[in-house]
Structure 1
Amino acid sequence: MSVITAVTAQNTQGVFAVQDIDVAVIEKQIEAIFDDIAVSAVKIGMVSRIETIRAVANGLKKFNAQNVVVDPVMISKSGYYLLQPDAMEALVSCLLPLATVLTPNIPEAEEISGRKIHSLKDMEEAAKAIHLLGPKYVLLKGGHREEDAVDVLFDGETFHHFGSLRIATQNTHGTGCTLSAAIAANLAKGYLVQEAVARAKEYIHTAIEHSFSIGKGVGPVHHFYNLYKGAGMLDDK
């Protein structure tokens, strides 16, 4: 079930426009879902303005939402700003304390923590600083570094590193959104956070391996590779 917070005009080459949904409609969507079904996990993606952030946060608190995964989307791969400049404080103060897992990439972590990140040690220090803002776990994604991707998970006491070989493809549209959604799905299945992240990492790695080369820009990852493989429509890579 989805709550639509904004409609975008985008393709493989970039994001060209964002239309925010009226707050009253967002609130009604949240109520409609929680009043009807048992919600085992929540994934939050782009919430671009203060009013939207507050409406989502209030809804989560009203219905005592569990297993909340927050992907603090700020800038698209093409450079389009998806978080309004005056909304950063609301994002940090309203949503981070409600997050079971926060999944910033390096640029987002730099914005939230106020630190520059150049190394694995820098990632750990930034994760510490962000954890103090309220999320139970911080998964700082290392895909923006030039080396093989290493993500850092911090629970306030212990660091866990998740490494993976970098795949030579430009078709990575939706990687961060997919990873956070996969973590939420695994939490809903009952996995603890570390195992939920490990399974989500495995899923997104294979989704990137089988990504689609379509359009003139950055193609999407393959969310349904398991179904295609089961139907004999996909070869192992």
Structure 2
Amino acid sequence: MKHVLTIAGSDSGGGAGIQADLKTFSALGVYGMSVITAITAQNTLGVQAVEDVSPELVEAQLTSIFSDIRVDAVKIGMVSNQDTIQVIARQLEKYSLPIVLDPVMVAKGGHALLQPNAEQALLEQLLPLATLVTPNIPEIERMIGGTVHSLADMKQAAVKLTERRAGAVLLKGGHLEGQDATDLLYTDERYVVFEQERIASRHTHGTGCTLSAAIAGNLALGHSLEDSIRYAKRYVTEAIRHGFALGHGIGPTHHFHELWRDTHVTTHP
């Protein structure tokens, strides 16, 4: 079995972050491990509070895993402060691994998840280590200091981000209008467009975390970068299609839609 490590924050509501990543790994048949960078008080209505794990404990978690367990791929999600980013970069630069960086900056409800002084550290220290970086449109606009309104803009933005030493860029186009959800991969000076039908659902909490985790899992399984993205995008589309209401706000995607398909459990006294 392949082993995949997620370095991210905890979502107490279970729809995103570490919880979404571990569910995704399990659904893909890889063994999930975690380094928790922050703890959030969060539900379907939004993020109410965030507390960072100390950089020392983040480093201890990384050392504990790498000293004992083989790691086949890494996914990086929420890394909210500069000191934590420095610790992660210092540890990961020792190894040659597929690394998928999801630059989590703002929660779906608008709560900032990356401190302002950490943005530059993420660009300078983690971006060059990443095999793939997976920003959405608001994130890449912050990273390059521009605006994106079309596929042509997406292509220019992806190129600009690679100029900042990103290995490859998967720019998620979900914030654009259109019948399809169009993502753009820029790698080796060429573009690859991925299109899946846009699912009309409000239950999309954790889609970014889930996509990047699925890509990392597929890379660990030995798939090419393009196939890893293609398979991950199909997986997330179906997870959204089977998303469900939870609480009073935006529900989660269904990470185990394949396992639970057409299964009806009835309990009896």
TM range (shorter): over 0.9
SS at match of 1:227: coil
Q: Does 1:68 align with 2:99?
A: yes
What does residue range 109-120 of structure 1 map to in structure 2 within 5 Å?
109-120=140-151
Instruction: Work out which of the residue numbers 164, 180, 183 in structure 1 matches 2:212.
Output: 180
Q: Does 1:41 align with 2:91?
A: no
Gaps of 5+ in 1: none
Inter-partner Cα distance in structure 2 for 1:68 and 1:134: 14
Q: How many percent of aligned residue pairs carry the same amino acid?
A: 52
**Contact conserved, 1:128 with 1:156, CA < 8 A, in 2?**
no
- 1:232 CA drift (Å): 2.5
Instruction: Work out which of the residue numbers 17, 20, 36 in structure 1 matches 2:52.
Output: 20
Q: Does 1:208 align with 2:246?
A: no
Q: Deviations over 1:164-222 (max 9, x none)?
A: 11111100000000000000000000001000000000000000000011111100000
- 1:113 CA drift (Å): 1.2
Gaps of 5+ in 2: 1-32
- 1:65 CA drift (Å): 4.2
SS at match of 2:249: coil
Residue aligning to 1:85: 116
Residue aligning to 1:222: 254
SS at match of 2:177: coil
**Structure 1 segments of 4+ aligned residues over 4 angstroms from their partners:** none
Residue aligning to 1:30: 62
Which amino acid in structure 2 is aligned with residue 68 of structure 1?
Answer: I
- 1:10 CA drift (Å): 0.3
Which amino acid in structure 2 is aligned with residue 113 of structure 1?
Answer: I
- 1:59 CA drift (Å): 1.1
- 1:124 CA drift (Å): 0.4
Q: Deviations over 1:47-101 (max 9, x none)?
A: 0010011111111013x14000000000000000000011111010000000001
- 1:233 CA drift (Å): 3.8
